[in-house]
Amino acid sequence: MGQAIRSDVLAGKVAFVAGGSTGINFEIARQFAAHGAKVAILSRKVDRVEAAAKMLVDEGHDVLGLPGDVRDYARLQEAFAQTVAAYGKIDIVLSGAAGNFLAPALGMSANAFKTVVDIDLLGTFNVFRASFEHLNKPGASLITITAGQAVKPMMFQIHACAAKAGVNMITKCLAMEWGPAGVRVNAISPGPIADTEGMLRLAPDDQAEAVIKGRIALRDYGTKSDIAEAALFLASDSARYITGAILNVDGGSELGDAQPDAIPAEYK
């Protein structure tokens, strides 16, 4: 059996989580805090970020809630400065804000395409670029959330495919440029994750869910905790020699459709 990650693995660290008020990113913020980090979470909606911060504070964590939009570079500069004013430094940055919807290219306006690219791609650049002067270097860890669409073309996802492909390249380019300063830059590519807004849209009923699970090598959805624990590893000193990596946490879904008909009966 594997050993649980010790609870103080991020003791003395300060983490900044962009998009951290809901979903996967909130669970990442929670895991960072539960393992010893002081955490600032940033989100566009004031009520959500305040509620998320209060929830984590009520659990006994040291958390700062900051309103802000990743498309607003000046606001990000302020938010990082606020975090340093409160906690003295920044060791870990998680860029997770994202937007997506299903639409064919001919059913999508130029503005709709731009919105997703601005949130996912420009937002990732903004978060990482604005953080750099405040990072505790060497030793800082930057992590972004990408997706399988970055390398696997999908119908009705031209905006997300384009944006996430760019996010992968931001990860690799910054890993090369900032490595000499001792800053690691990595990405996590989640597969289908249970109880997320995206999966509720893609698989709104049991039949659709069964079809999707039937195409995944491990035949199941992942959990928010699966992604948060991967982020915890990348943020920790255990990953000190890992940079420029795109870590698939997807049950093998990026490998291709593992259709049951292609598997001999004796191996099912």
**pLDDT by position in tens, the chain (length 268):** 345 556 899 999 999 999 999 999 999 999 999 999 999 999 999 999 999 999 999 999 999 999 999 999 999 999 999 999 999 999 999 999 999 988 999 999 999 999 999 999 999 999 999 999 999 999 999 999 999 999 999 999 999 999 999 999 999 999 999 999 999 999 999 988 888 877 777 777 878 788 888 888 899 999 999 999 999 999 999 999 999 999 999 998 888 776 655 555 554 5
Q: Is 129 helix (H, G, I), strand (E, B) or coil?
A: helix
DSSP calls for 58-82: HTT--EEEEE--TT-HHHHHHHHHH
Task: Please tell me the distance from the alpha carbon of residue 63 to that of residue 16, in angstroms, as a whole number.
Answer: 10
pLDDT reported for residue 77: 98
pLDDT reported for residue 131: 98
What's the whole-model pTM score? 0.92
Task: Please tell me the distance from the alpha carbon of residue 109 to that of residue 189, in angstroms, as a whole number.
Answer: 27
pLDDT reported for residue 4: 52
pLDDT reported for residue 254: 83
- CATH number of the structural domain 14-192+223-249: 3.40.50.720
8-state DSSP, 15: E
pLDDT reported for residue 211: 83
pLDDT reported for residue 1: 36
Domain boundaries, the chain: 14-192+223-249
